Structure 1
Amino acid sequence: MTDQATRAAGPVPSPQRAVRDVPDVPKEPVFTTQDLNIHYGDFHAVTDVSMEFGKNEITALIGPSGCGKSTVLRCLNRMNDLIPTARVSGEVRYHGIELYGPKIDPIEVRRRIGMVFQKANPFPKSIYDNIAYGPRVTGMKVDSMDDLVEQTLRRAALWDEVKDKLKQNAYGLSGGQQQRLCIARAIATNPDVVLMDEPCSALDPIATLRIEELMAELRESYTIIIVTHNMQQAARVSDRTAFFTVKVNETTGDRTGGLVEFDRTTTIFENPSDQRTEGYISGRFG
Protein backbone atom coordinates (compact mmCIF):
# COMPACT_ATOMS: atom_id res chain seq x y z
CA MET A 1 0.00 0.00 0.00
CA THR A 2 1.42 3.38 -0.96
CA ASP A 3 1.59 6.47 1.27
CA GLN A 4 -1.31 7.92 -0.75
CA ALA A 5 -3.38 4.81 -0.12
CA THR A 6 -2.46 4.85 3.54
CA ARG A 7 -3.62 8.45 3.87
CA ALA A 8 -6.82 7.56 2.06
CA ALA A 9 -7.40 4.72 4.49
CA GLY A 10 -7.42 7.19 7.36
CA PRO A 11 -5.00 8.53 9.96
CA VAL A 12 -2.68 6.22 11.81
CA PRO A 13 -2.84 6.56 15.62
CA SER A 14 0.19 8.10 17.24
CA PRO A 15 2.65 5.68 18.82
CA GLN A 16 2.46 5.70 22.59
CA ARG A 17 5.57 7.45 23.83
CA ALA A 18 6.47 10.07 26.38
CA VAL A 19 6.74 13.67 25.28
CA ARG A 20 10.41 14.47 24.90
CA ASP A 21 12.18 17.68 25.80
CA VAL A 22 14.25 18.35 22.69
CA PRO A 23 16.99 21.01 23.06
CA ASP A 24 17.36 23.76 20.46
CA VAL A 25 20.48 22.06 19.10
CA PRO A 26 21.69 18.49 19.65
CA LYS A 27 23.75 18.12 22.81
CA GLU A 28 25.70 15.18 21.39
CA PRO A 29 25.90 15.32 17.58
CA VAL A 30 26.48 11.92 15.99
CA PHE A 31 26.74 13.33 12.48
CA THR A 32 27.72 16.82 11.37
CA THR A 33 27.58 17.83 7.73
CA GLN A 34 29.10 21.08 6.52
CA ASP A 35 28.55 22.38 2.98
CA LEU A 36 27.78 18.85 1.81
CA ASN A 37 27.52 18.65 -1.99
CA ILE A 38 26.74 15.51 -3.96
CA HIS A 39 27.28 15.01 -7.69
CA TYR A 40 26.50 12.16 -10.05
CA GLY A 41 28.95 12.79 -12.85
CA ASP A 42 28.24 16.35 -14.03
CA PHE A 43 24.82 16.40 -12.36
CA HIS A 44 24.72 18.41 -9.14
CA ALA A 45 22.18 16.42 -7.08
CA VAL A 46 22.44 18.14 -3.67
CA THR A 47 23.95 21.45 -2.70
CA ASP A 48 25.38 22.91 0.51
CA VAL A 49 23.71 20.85 3.26
CA SER A 50 24.83 21.72 6.79
CA MET A 51 23.16 19.81 9.65
CA GLU A 52 23.72 18.13 13.01
CA PHE A 53 22.06 14.85 13.94
CA GLY A 54 21.65 14.26 17.67
CA LYS A 55 22.40 11.10 19.61
CA ASN A 56 19.32 9.00 20.51
CA GLU A 57 17.10 11.26 18.48
CA ILE A 58 14.87 10.54 15.50
CA THR A 59 15.48 12.96 12.67
CA ALA A 60 13.05 13.05 9.75
CA LEU A 61 14.02 14.24 6.27
CA ILE A 62 10.97 15.46 4.31
CA GLY A 63 10.39 17.18 0.99
CA PRO A 64 9.08 16.62 -2.53
CA SER A 65 10.40 13.89 -4.80
CA GLY A 66 13.85 14.60 -6.20
CA CYS A 67 14.89 17.00 -3.45
CA GLY A 68 17.88 14.90 -2.38
CA LYS A 69 16.77 13.60 1.00
CA SER A 70 17.48 9.92 0.18
CA THR A 71 20.76 10.92 -1.47
CA VAL A 72 21.82 12.69 1.74
CA LEU A 73 20.73 9.69 3.81
CA ARG A 74 22.87 7.33 1.72
CA CYS A 75 25.89 9.59 2.21
CA LEU A 76 25.75 8.94 5.93
CA ASN A 77 26.85 5.32 5.56
CA ARG A 78 28.69 5.71 2.25
CA MET A 79 26.13 3.78 0.24
CA ASN A 80 26.71 6.28 -2.57
CA ASP A 81 30.19 4.77 -2.94
CA LEU A 82 28.48 1.92 -4.76
CA ILE A 83 27.48 4.29 -7.58
CA PRO A 84 30.55 4.79 -9.84
CA THR A 85 29.68 8.37 -10.84
CA ALA A 86 28.86 9.60 -7.33
CA ARG A 87 31.10 12.25 -5.84
CA VAL A 88 30.84 13.88 -2.40
CA SER A 89 32.43 17.14 -1.31
CA GLY A 90 32.23 19.14 1.89
CA GLU A 91 32.37 17.54 5.33
CA VAL A 92 30.52 14.53 6.74
CA ARG A 93 31.73 13.93 10.28
CA TYR A 94 30.71 10.93 12.38
CA HIS A 95 31.53 11.48 16.07
CA GLY A 96 33.97 14.11 14.86
CA ILE A 97 35.76 11.81 12.38
CA GLU A 98 35.68 12.65 8.68
CA LEU A 99 33.59 9.82 7.22
CA TYR A 100 35.15 10.15 3.78
CA GLY A 101 38.74 10.24 5.01
CA PRO A 102 41.31 8.16 3.11
CA LYS A 103 41.82 5.64 5.93
CA ILE A 104 38.13 5.02 6.62
CA ASP A 105 36.86 1.53 5.74
CA PRO A 106 33.38 1.79 4.14
CA ILE A 107 32.53 -1.74 5.29
CA GLU A 108 33.15 -0.81 8.90
CA VAL A 109 31.12 2.37 8.35
CA ARG A 110 28.13 0.29 7.24
CA ARG A 111 28.50 -2.02 10.22
CA ARG A 112 28.24 0.92 12.57
CA ILE A 113 25.55 2.66 10.54
CA GLY A 114 22.83 0.22 9.51
CA MET A 115 20.20 0.84 6.85
CA VAL A 116 16.61 -0.19 6.21
CA PHE A 117 15.23 0.35 2.73
CA GLN A 118 11.86 1.38 1.34
CA LYS A 119 10.92 -2.11 0.21
CA ALA A 120 11.49 -4.92 2.65
CA ASN A 121 14.38 -6.98 1.31
CA PRO A 122 14.91 -10.05 3.48
CA PHE A 123 17.53 -12.48 2.24
CA PRO A 124 16.23 -15.70 0.62
CA LYS A 125 17.15 -17.54 3.80
CA SER A 126 15.48 -18.60 7.01
CA ILE A 127 14.38 -16.03 9.56
CA TYR A 128 17.20 -17.22 11.81
CA ASP A 129 19.85 -16.90 9.10
CA ASN A 130 18.68 -13.40 8.17
CA ILE A 131 19.55 -12.24 11.68
CA ALA A 132 22.74 -14.31 11.98
CA TYR A 133 24.09 -13.22 8.59
CA GLY A 134 25.58 -9.87 9.64
CA PRO A 135 27.34 -11.12 12.78
CA ARG A 136 28.76 -14.07 10.82
CA VAL A 137 30.01 -12.04 7.87
CA THR A 138 31.61 -9.34 10.02
CA GLY A 139 33.27 -11.86 12.34
CA MET A 140 31.40 -10.47 15.33
CA LYS A 141 32.23 -12.34 18.54
CA VAL A 142 29.04 -13.96 19.82
CA ASP A 143 28.77 -16.23 22.86
CA SER A 144 25.52 -17.76 21.64
CA MET A 145 24.05 -17.08 18.21
CA ASP A 146 20.72 -18.48 19.40
CA ASP A 147 20.61 -15.90 22.19
CA LEU A 148 21.61 -13.09 19.82
CA VAL A 149 18.86 -14.01 17.35
CA GLU A 150 16.26 -14.11 20.10
CA GLN A 151 17.38 -10.84 21.68
CA THR A 152 17.45 -9.07 18.33
CA LEU A 153 14.01 -10.30 17.31
CA ARG A 154 12.66 -9.24 20.69
CA ARG A 155 14.08 -5.75 20.19
CA ALA A 156 12.35 -5.64 16.83
CA ALA A 157 9.04 -6.69 18.44
CA LEU A 158 8.95 -9.81 16.26
CA TRP A 159 10.00 -12.69 18.51
CA ASP A 160 6.54 -13.73 19.69
CA GLU A 161 5.33 -13.92 16.09
CA VAL A 162 8.19 -15.99 14.68
CA LYS A 163 9.75 -17.94 17.56
CA ASP A 164 8.19 -21.21 16.38
CA LYS A 165 9.23 -20.83 12.74
CA LEU A 166 12.80 -19.55 12.84
CA LYS A 167 13.92 -22.09 10.24
CA GLN A 168 11.20 -21.09 7.76
CA ASN A 169 11.99 -18.87 4.79
CA ALA A 170 11.65 -15.17 5.57
CA TYR A 171 9.64 -14.69 2.37
CA GLY A 172 6.72 -16.37 4.14
CA LEU A 173 6.28 -13.39 6.47
CA SER A 174 3.82 -10.58 5.84
CA GLY A 175 5.09 -7.27 4.47
CA GLY A 176 5.10 -5.61 7.87
CA GLN A 177 6.83 -8.57 9.46
CA GLN A 178 9.45 -8.60 6.71
CA GLN A 179 10.19 -4.94 7.34
CA ARG A 180 10.57 -5.54 11.06
CA LEU A 181 12.85 -8.47 10.21
CA CYS A 182 14.97 -6.10 8.11
CA ILE A 183 15.14 -3.70 11.05
CA ALA A 184 16.18 -6.61 13.27
CA ARG A 185 18.83 -7.61 10.72
CA ALA A 186 20.13 -4.02 10.73
CA ILE A 187 20.57 -3.95 14.51
CA ALA A 188 21.97 -7.48 14.85
CA THR A 189 25.53 -6.19 14.46
CA ASN A 190 24.93 -3.65 17.25
CA PRO A 191 25.22 -0.48 15.15
CA ASP A 192 25.30 3.04 16.50
CA VAL A 193 22.88 4.50 13.93
CA VAL A 194 19.94 3.13 11.94
CA LEU A 195 19.05 4.86 8.66
CA MET A 196 15.54 4.26 7.29
CA ASP A 197 14.58 5.19 3.74
CA GLU A 198 10.76 5.38 3.63
CA PRO A 199 10.39 2.19 5.69
CA CYS A 200 6.57 2.34 5.81
CA SER A 201 5.71 3.50 2.30
CA ALA A 202 4.55 0.05 1.18
CA LEU A 203 2.77 -0.91 4.41
CA ASP A 204 -0.83 -0.71 5.58
CA PRO A 205 -1.80 1.59 8.52
CA ILE A 206 -1.56 -1.12 11.17
CA ALA A 207 1.89 -2.28 10.06
CA THR A 208 2.95 1.38 9.85
CA LEU A 209 1.90 1.89 13.46
CA ARG A 210 3.95 -1.12 14.57
CA ILE A 211 7.05 0.24 12.83
CA GLU A 212 6.52 3.70 14.33
CA GLU A 213 6.15 2.24 17.82
CA LEU A 214 9.30 0.22 17.21
CA MET A 215 11.22 3.34 16.17
CA ALA A 216 10.16 5.08 19.38
CA GLU A 217 11.49 2.13 21.39
CA LEU A 218 14.74 1.76 19.44
CA ARG A 219 15.55 5.44 19.83
CA GLU A 220 16.51 4.71 23.44
CA SER A 221 19.45 2.68 22.12
CA TYR A 222 20.10 4.05 18.62
CA THR A 223 20.18 7.26 16.66
CA ILE A 224 17.57 7.01 13.90
CA ILE A 225 17.36 9.05 10.70
CA ILE A 226 14.31 8.51 8.53
CA VAL A 227 13.31 9.69 5.07
CA THR A 228 9.55 9.92 4.67
CA HIS A 229 7.03 11.39 2.24
CA ASN A 230 4.40 11.08 4.96
CA MET A 231 4.42 14.37 6.85
CA GLN A 232 2.05 13.01 9.48
CA GLN A 233 4.58 10.27 10.17
CA ALA A 234 7.39 12.81 10.55
CA ALA A 235 5.22 14.79 12.97
CA ARG A 236 4.36 11.67 14.98
CA VAL A 237 7.74 10.04 15.42
CA SER A 238 10.60 12.52 15.00
CA ASP A 239 12.38 14.89 17.35
CA ARG A 240 13.79 17.05 14.56
CA THR A 241 12.73 17.55 10.97
CA ALA A 242 14.68 18.78 7.95
CA PHE A 243 12.75 20.12 4.97
CA PHE A 244 14.41 19.84 1.56
CA THR A 245 13.20 21.27 -1.71
CA VAL A 246 14.22 21.37 -5.38
CA LYS A 247 15.76 24.19 -7.38
CA VAL A 248 15.33 23.94 -11.14
CA ASN A 249 17.98 25.34 -13.47
CA GLU A 250 15.97 27.33 -16.00
CA THR A 251 18.62 26.83 -18.66
CA THR A 252 19.29 23.11 -18.38
CA GLY A 253 16.21 21.92 -16.52
CA ASP A 254 18.43 20.13 -13.98
CA ARG A 255 16.87 19.71 -10.54
CA THR A 256 19.17 20.21 -7.55
CA GLY A 257 18.06 19.45 -4.00
CA GLY A 258 18.86 21.64 -1.05
CA LEU A 259 18.08 22.06 2.63
CA VAL A 260 15.55 24.81 3.36
CA GLU A 261 15.01 24.51 7.08
CA PHE A 262 16.07 22.24 9.95
CA ASP A 263 14.63 22.54 13.45
CA ARG A 264 12.76 20.75 16.19
CA THR A 265 9.79 18.95 14.72
CA THR A 266 7.31 20.99 16.76
CA THR A 267 8.80 24.19 15.34
CA ILE A 268 8.83 22.95 11.75
CA PHE A 269 5.17 21.92 11.88
CA GLU A 270 3.79 24.69 14.08
CA ASN A 271 5.94 27.74 13.38
CA PRO A 272 8.32 27.28 10.41
CA SER A 273 10.58 30.20 9.60
CA ASP A 274 10.52 29.76 5.81
CA GLN A 275 7.41 30.22 3.69
CA ARG A 276 8.44 27.29 1.49
CA THR A 277 8.29 24.99 4.50
CA GLU A 278 4.87 26.23 5.46
CA GLY A 279 3.68 25.87 1.87
CA TYR A 280 4.83 22.26 1.67
CA ILE A 281 3.44 21.25 5.06
CA SER A 282 0.09 22.90 4.33
CA GLY A 283 -0.12 21.09 0.99
CA ARG A 284 0.06 24.16 -1.23
CA PHE A 285 2.88 22.55 -3.21
CA GLY A 286 4.88 19.33 -3.38
Structure 2
Amino acid sequence: MSRIARRFAALKKAGRGALIPYLEACDPDFETSLALLRAMPEAGADLIEIGMPFSDPSADGPIIQLAARRGLKAGATLPRLFEMVRAFRKHDNETPVILMGYLNPVEAYGMLRFCEDASHAGIDGLIIVDMPPEEAGTMLACAAENGLDIIRLVAPTTDDKRLKLVLSHASGFVYYVSITGITGTRSASDADLEAALPRLRKATDLPVAIGFGIRTPEQAAAASRIADGAVVASALLSTLAGTLDAKDRATADTLPKVLKQLRELAAAVRA
Protein backbone atom coordinates (compact mmCIF):
# COMPACT_ATOMS: atom_id res chain seq x y z
CA MET A 1 0.00 0.00 0.00
CA SER A 2 1.38 3.41 -0.98
CA ARG A 3 1.89 6.28 1.46
CA ILE A 4 -1.09 8.05 -0.13
CA ALA A 5 -3.39 5.03 0.29
CA ARG A 6 -2.20 4.45 3.87
CA ARG A 7 -2.83 8.06 4.83
CA PHE A 8 -6.35 8.20 3.39
CA ALA A 9 -7.17 4.85 5.01
CA ALA A 10 -5.98 6.10 8.39
CA LEU A 11 -7.98 9.32 8.05
CA LYS A 12 -11.11 7.40 7.08
CA LYS A 13 -10.69 5.25 10.17
CA ALA A 14 -10.29 8.43 12.22
CA GLY A 15 -13.51 9.78 10.73
CA ARG A 16 -12.20 12.90 9.01
CA GLY A 17 -10.87 14.20 5.72
CA ALA A 18 -7.39 15.31 4.75
CA LEU A 19 -5.85 18.77 4.71
CA ILE A 20 -3.52 19.11 1.73
CA PRO A 21 -1.55 22.37 1.69
CA TYR A 22 0.49 23.54 -1.28
CA LEU A 23 3.85 25.22 -1.56
CA GLU A 24 5.82 26.27 -4.62
CA ALA A 25 9.34 24.85 -4.80
CA CYS A 26 12.03 27.48 -4.04
CA ASP A 27 9.48 30.19 -3.27
CA PRO A 28 10.89 32.60 -2.25
CA ASP A 29 14.15 30.63 -1.95
CA PHE A 30 15.31 27.04 -1.47
CA GLU A 31 16.00 27.29 2.27
CA THR A 32 12.68 28.91 3.18
CA SER A 33 10.76 26.49 0.97
CA LEU A 34 12.47 23.50 2.59
CA ALA A 35 11.88 24.89 6.09
CA LEU A 36 8.19 25.32 5.28
CA LEU A 37 7.95 21.80 3.85
CA ARG A 38 9.57 20.33 6.97
CA ALA A 39 7.24 22.26 9.30
CA MET A 40 3.97 21.53 7.50
CA PRO A 41 3.22 18.07 8.97
CA GLU A 42 3.49 19.27 12.55
CA ALA A 43 1.30 22.27 11.66
CA GLY A 44 -1.43 19.95 10.44
CA ALA A 45 -0.71 18.86 6.86
CA ASP A 46 -1.93 15.34 6.12
CA LEU A 47 -0.50 15.25 2.59
CA ILE A 48 1.61 17.94 0.91
CA GLU A 49 1.45 19.20 -2.64
CA ILE A 50 4.56 20.84 -4.13
CA GLY A 51 4.34 22.99 -7.22
CA MET A 52 6.93 22.58 -9.96
CA PRO A 53 7.65 26.17 -11.04
CA PHE A 54 6.91 26.74 -14.72
CA SER A 55 6.92 29.86 -16.86
CA ASP A 56 3.45 29.28 -18.37
CA PRO A 57 1.15 27.82 -15.69
CA SER A 58 -2.06 28.02 -17.71
CA ALA A 59 -4.42 26.65 -15.05
CA ASP A 60 -3.18 28.99 -12.34
CA GLY A 61 -4.28 32.43 -11.27
CA PRO A 62 -2.02 35.38 -10.51
CA ILE A 63 -1.08 34.27 -6.98
CA ILE A 64 0.41 30.94 -8.08
CA GLN A 65 1.84 32.51 -11.24
CA LEU A 66 3.81 34.96 -9.10
CA ALA A 67 4.93 32.17 -6.76
CA ALA A 68 6.21 30.20 -9.77
CA ARG A 69 8.03 33.27 -11.01
CA ARG A 70 9.69 33.76 -7.62
CA GLY A 71 10.67 30.09 -7.55
CA LEU A 72 12.23 30.25 -11.00
CA LYS A 73 14.06 33.45 -10.11
CA ALA A 74 15.44 31.68 -7.02
CA GLY A 75 16.85 28.88 -9.17
CA ALA A 76 14.12 26.24 -9.09
CA THR A 77 14.85 23.23 -11.29
CA LEU A 78 13.59 19.68 -11.13
CA PRO A 79 16.89 18.40 -9.64
CA ARG A 80 16.66 21.16 -7.01
CA LEU A 81 13.10 20.14 -6.21
CA PHE A 82 14.14 16.49 -5.85
CA GLU A 83 16.96 17.61 -3.55
CA MET A 84 14.40 19.41 -1.38
CA VAL A 85 12.21 16.32 -1.06
CA ARG A 86 15.20 14.09 -0.28
CA ALA A 87 16.13 16.47 2.55
CA PHE A 88 12.54 16.34 3.83
CA ARG A 89 12.53 12.54 3.76
CA LYS A 90 15.53 12.38 6.12
CA HIS A 91 13.14 13.45 8.90
CA ASP A 92 9.71 12.37 7.62
CA ASN A 93 9.07 9.08 5.91
CA GLU A 94 5.29 9.03 6.43
CA THR A 95 3.74 12.21 5.00
CA PRO A 96 2.72 11.72 1.36
CA VAL A 97 4.21 14.24 -1.10
CA ILE A 98 2.62 15.00 -4.46
CA LEU A 99 4.13 17.06 -7.26
CA MET A 100 1.83 19.30 -9.26
CA GLY A 101 2.86 20.91 -12.51
CA TYR A 102 2.90 20.93 -16.28
CA LEU A 103 4.07 18.47 -18.88
CA ASN A 104 6.63 20.61 -20.72
CA PRO A 105 9.38 20.48 -18.02
CA VAL A 106 8.76 16.77 -17.51
CA GLU A 107 9.14 16.01 -21.22
CA ALA A 108 12.27 18.15 -21.40
CA TYR A 109 13.73 16.25 -18.43
CA GLY A 110 12.72 12.87 -19.88
CA MET A 111 9.67 11.01 -18.58
CA LEU A 112 11.40 7.87 -17.40
CA ARG A 113 14.26 9.79 -15.82
CA PHE A 114 11.76 12.12 -14.16
CA CYS A 115 9.76 9.26 -12.65
CA GLU A 116 12.89 7.43 -11.50
CA ASP A 117 14.33 10.54 -9.84
CA ALA A 118 10.98 11.49 -8.30
CA SER A 119 10.56 8.03 -6.81
CA HIS A 120 14.11 7.92 -5.48
CA ALA A 121 13.59 11.33 -3.86
CA GLY A 122 10.55 10.05 -1.96
CA ILE A 123 7.70 11.50 -4.01
CA ASP A 124 4.45 9.54 -4.00
CA GLY A 125 2.22 11.00 -6.70
CA LEU A 126 2.06 13.30 -9.70
CA ILE A 127 -0.55 15.76 -10.92
CA ILE A 128 0.28 16.78 -14.48
CA VAL A 129 -2.31 19.43 -15.17
CA ASP A 130 -2.14 19.52 -18.96
CA MET A 131 -1.67 15.80 -19.70
CA PRO A 132 -4.92 14.39 -21.16
CA PRO A 133 -5.51 10.64 -20.73
CA GLU A 134 -5.33 10.12 -24.50
CA GLU A 135 -1.67 11.16 -24.42
CA ALA A 136 -0.69 9.72 -21.06
CA GLY A 137 0.40 6.21 -22.06
CA THR A 138 4.15 6.71 -21.77
CA MET A 139 3.86 8.66 -18.53
CA LEU A 140 1.53 6.09 -16.99
CA ALA A 141 3.98 3.29 -17.78
CA CYS A 142 6.95 5.21 -16.37
CA ALA A 143 5.02 6.15 -13.24
CA ALA A 144 3.78 2.60 -12.64
CA GLU A 145 7.29 1.23 -13.06
CA ASN A 146 8.45 3.56 -10.29
CA GLY A 147 5.52 3.24 -7.89
CA LEU A 148 4.10 6.71 -8.49
CA ASP A 149 0.39 7.47 -8.43
CA ILE A 150 -1.02 9.53 -11.29
CA ILE A 151 -3.67 11.78 -9.76
CA ARG A 152 -6.24 12.97 -12.27
CA LEU A 153 -8.18 16.23 -12.35
CA VAL A 154 -11.91 16.28 -12.95
CA ALA A 155 -14.08 19.38 -13.18
CA PRO A 156 -17.75 20.39 -13.05
CA THR A 157 -17.74 20.31 -16.85
CA THR A 158 -16.46 16.69 -17.07
CA ASP A 159 -19.37 14.68 -18.50
CA ASP A 160 -20.04 11.05 -17.60
CA LYS A 161 -18.34 9.60 -20.68
CA ARG A 162 -15.22 11.71 -20.12
CA LEU A 163 -15.28 10.98 -16.40
CA LYS A 164 -15.08 7.25 -17.05
CA LEU A 165 -12.09 7.72 -19.36
CA VAL A 166 -10.23 10.06 -17.01
CA LEU A 167 -10.76 7.88 -13.94
CA SER A 168 -9.64 4.73 -15.75
CA HIS A 169 -6.15 6.28 -15.65
CA ALA A 170 -6.29 7.51 -12.03
CA SER A 171 -4.66 6.27 -8.84
CA GLY A 172 -3.94 7.67 -5.38
CA PHE A 173 -6.90 10.04 -5.23
CA VAL A 174 -9.03 12.16 -7.53
CA TYR A 175 -8.56 15.93 -7.55
CA TYR A 176 -11.91 17.65 -8.05
CA VAL A 177 -11.48 21.12 -9.55
CA SER A 178 -14.44 22.77 -7.86
CA ILE A 179 -14.81 25.74 -10.22
CA THR A 180 -14.61 26.43 -13.93
CA GLY A 181 -11.66 28.80 -14.11
CA ILE A 182 -8.17 29.36 -12.80
CA THR A 183 -6.87 28.85 -9.28
CA GLY A 184 -7.50 31.28 -6.47
CA THR A 185 -10.14 33.42 -8.15
CA ARG A 186 -13.44 32.28 -6.62
CA SER A 187 -14.97 29.46 -4.58
CA ALA A 188 -17.71 26.90 -5.07
CA SER A 189 -20.60 26.79 -2.62
CA ASP A 190 -21.17 23.88 -0.26
CA ALA A 191 -24.35 23.11 -2.20
CA ASP A 192 -22.40 22.89 -5.46
CA LEU A 193 -19.90 20.51 -3.88
CA GLU A 194 -22.56 18.34 -2.28
CA ALA A 195 -24.32 18.07 -5.64
CA ALA A 196 -21.14 17.09 -7.47
CA LEU A 197 -19.80 14.40 -5.16
CA PRO A 198 -22.40 11.62 -5.64
CA ARG A 199 -21.55 11.39 -9.35
CA LEU A 200 -17.84 11.05 -8.54
CA ARG A 201 -18.52 8.46 -5.83
CA LYS A 202 -20.43 6.36 -8.35
CA ALA A 203 -17.55 6.50 -10.80
CA THR A 204 -14.61 5.66 -8.50
CA ASP A 205 -13.64 4.12 -5.17
CA LEU A 206 -10.65 6.46 -4.91
CA PRO A 207 -10.68 9.25 -2.32
CA VAL A 208 -11.71 12.65 -3.66
CA ALA A 209 -9.94 15.87 -2.70
CA ILE A 210 -11.41 19.26 -3.55
CA GLY A 211 -9.23 22.14 -4.72
CA PHE A 212 -9.27 25.48 -6.57
CA GLY A 213 -10.87 28.22 -4.47
CA ILE A 214 -10.60 26.87 -0.91
CA ARG A 215 -9.31 29.80 1.12
CA THR A 216 -10.78 29.83 4.64
CA PRO A 217 -10.82 27.35 7.54
CA GLU A 218 -14.59 27.07 7.13
CA GLN A 219 -14.28 26.20 3.45
CA ALA A 220 -11.54 23.66 4.17
CA ALA A 221 -13.65 22.04 6.87
CA ALA A 222 -16.67 21.83 4.56
CA ALA A 223 -14.68 20.41 1.64
CA SER A 224 -12.97 17.78 3.78
CA ARG A 225 -16.37 16.78 5.20
CA ILE A 226 -18.18 16.64 1.85
CA ALA A 227 -15.28 14.87 0.10
CA ASP A 228 -12.16 13.16 1.51
CA GLY A 229 -9.80 16.11 1.50
CA ALA A 230 -9.29 19.82 0.91
CA VAL A 231 -6.41 21.33 -1.06
CA VAL A 232 -5.39 24.85 -0.02
CA ALA A 233 -2.93 26.66 -2.28
CA SER A 234 -3.49 30.29 -3.24
CA ALA A 235 -4.53 31.34 0.27
CA LEU A 236 -1.25 30.11 1.77
CA LEU A 237 0.83 31.56 -1.07
CA SER A 238 -0.93 34.91 -0.68
CA THR A 239 0.01 34.97 2.99
CA LEU A 240 3.60 34.06 2.15
CA ALA A 241 3.80 36.79 -0.50
CA GLY A 242 2.51 39.36 1.98
CA THR A 243 5.46 38.71 4.31
CA LEU A 244 8.20 39.24 1.71
CA ASP A 245 10.30 42.38 1.49
CA ALA A 246 10.46 44.72 -1.50
CA LYS A 247 12.92 42.36 -3.22
CA ASP A 248 10.76 39.26 -2.65
CA ARG A 249 13.02 37.96 0.09
CA ALA A 250 11.76 36.06 3.12
CA THR A 251 11.45 37.95 6.38
CA ALA A 252 11.14 36.92 10.02
CA ASP A 253 7.37 36.79 9.52
CA THR A 254 7.32 34.41 6.56
CA LEU A 255 7.35 31.00 8.22
CA PRO A 256 5.39 31.96 11.38
CA LYS A 257 2.51 33.56 9.47
CA VAL A 258 2.13 30.78 6.91
CA LEU A 259 2.31 28.08 9.59
CA LYS A 260 -0.18 29.94 11.80
CA GLN A 261 -2.62 29.97 8.90
CA LEU A 262 -2.00 26.27 8.27
CA ARG A 263 -2.67 25.45 11.93
CA GLU A 264 -5.97 27.37 11.74
CA LEU A 265 -6.98 25.40 8.64
CA ALA A 266 -6.00 22.13 10.32
CA ALA A 267 -7.95 22.94 13.47
CA ALA A 268 -11.09 23.53 11.41
CA VAL A 269 -10.66 20.30 9.44
CA ARG A 270 -10.09 18.31 12.62
CA ALA A 271 -13.10 19.87 14.32
TM-score (norm 1): 0.38
Higher relative contact order (CA 8 A, sep 6+): 1
Structure number with the higher strand fraction is 1
Greater radius of gyration (CA): 1
Structure number with the higher helix fraction is 2
TM-score (norm 2): 0.39
